[in-house]
Amino acid sequence: MSSNTAWDDPSILVLIAVAVANLLVASAHFWPEAEPAVPTLADTAGESGAVVATPPRPLPLDPVVAPDVAKRVTLRRPAPACLAWGPFSALDEAERLAADLALPPEDFEVFHAEQEAAPDYLVTLRAPGTRASVARVVESLGERGIDSYVLERGPLDNVLAAGVFSARERAEAQARRLRTLGFEPAVEVLARSRDVYHLLARIPPESTPEIAPSAVCSEIAPLEQFL
């Protein structure tokens, strides 16, 4: 007669099987997942023994400019250059050049200014006495080939002008001649200016004018005064 054990009872075996299954499921959460095997050259070899290279997977690239910044980037065309021609002594000379360059009326302006010119030199002498005596001095100088006239400039009453010269050397020579005649002449510098005109125009940066400019606009006048 054989003795019966707990292993002979089917219900006990079922309980043991369920407990083992639950234990395996619980322990699976603590085991790391197996990483996929990296294929080797031997794994990629074909039937003929040739090695088939597997291309590497490209890595994602970060954008150079963030999208929110890229939206604010705008392309701008280069600003036109402001060029100047001149100076011209007459207004119509500047206007003629604008026509020759085929400039639209809204893209050019003629700028007028006064420019310092070379001075003149005035030879003067004082004739004492009345107006009658001054007239006699003028007549006497005329007989010697020296043209003169009376200046009527308030405090310079009875002052004679004995010539206006563009070169100082000629004025000094006239003064020496008057000294030999017994007068005491003086040489005065007369400042002069002249009207000049400049053509100012906006020119596209990619174009080259047929007539070379003489300067840029900012060298002629402050920017707020034109265009």
Residues near 73 by Cβ (< 8 Å), separated by ≥ 6?
A: 65
Q: What is the pLDDT of residue 130?
A: 75
Residues of the chain with CATH 3.30.70.1070: 118-192
Supply the mean pLDDT for the chain. Answer: 77
Choice among 5-19, 28-42, 111-125, 204-218 with the minimum mean pLDDT: 28-42
Q: What is the pTM of this model?
A: 0.49
Share of residues in the chain with pLDDT > 90 (%): 35
Banded pLDDT at 195 (limits 50, 70, 90): very high
| 47-51: long-range contacts, CB 8 A cutoff, minimum separation 24 | none
pLDDT band at 204 (very low <50, low <70, confident <90, very high): confident
Q: What are phi and psi of 127, to 5 degrees?
A: -110, 110
CATH superfamily of 118-192: Sporulation related repeat (3.30.70.1070)
Contact 206, 191 (CB under 8 A): no
Q: What are the structure tokens assigned to 102, written together?
A: 């085929």
The token pair that represents 50 in the structure block: 């040739």
- Cα 36 to Cα 31, 33, 59: the distances in Å are 15, 9, 18
Which pLDDT tens digit goes with each residue over 96-124?
999 999 999 888 999 999 988 999 999 99
